[in-house]
Amino acid sequence: MTATASVTHTAALARLGHALSDQTRVGILLALREAPAYPSDLAEAFSVSRQVMSNQLACLRGCGLVEAIPDGRRTWYRLADSHLAPALNELLQVVLFVEPGCCAGENCSCA
């Protein structure tokens, strides 16, 4: 593997990691894995404001994970790459042991 490919892969995985670091973004990705959706429907499903949903979708779009599709006066979203849904499915199969007290906000020793 070349250094360029390694840097590219590292950056892509870092973007995915950033996206997965927020529960709302994870929920959006899992929902879009099932079917494309409108932001207003996603906001309602996750009980967040439309502004919060807009910000989260902008983050996911910036990470290259979702794409916006204009539909008249509305826009719907879908996963940007067909490989992402199976990758998320595989990640859901991973079983992790989380040490008690770790990754719980201020007590996280991972930060």
Residue extents of the structural domains in the chain: 3-107
Q: What is the mean pLDDT of the chain?
A: 88
State mean pLDDT over 19-37: 96
* CA-based nearest residue to 38, from 15, 70, 6: 70
Fold adopted by 3-107: Arc Repressor Mutant, subunit A (1.10.10)
Q: What is the mean pLDDT of residues 3-25?
A: 86
Predicted confidence (pLDDT) at residue 97 exceeds the cutoff of 90: no
Q: Classify residue 105 as left (phi > 0), alpha (psi -120 to 50) or beta.
A: left
What is the pLDDT averaged over residues 58-75?
A: 95
Q: In the numeric block, which tokens belong to residue 92?
A: 């859901």
Query: Whole-model pTM?
Result: 0.81
CA 104 to mean position of chain CA atoms? 20
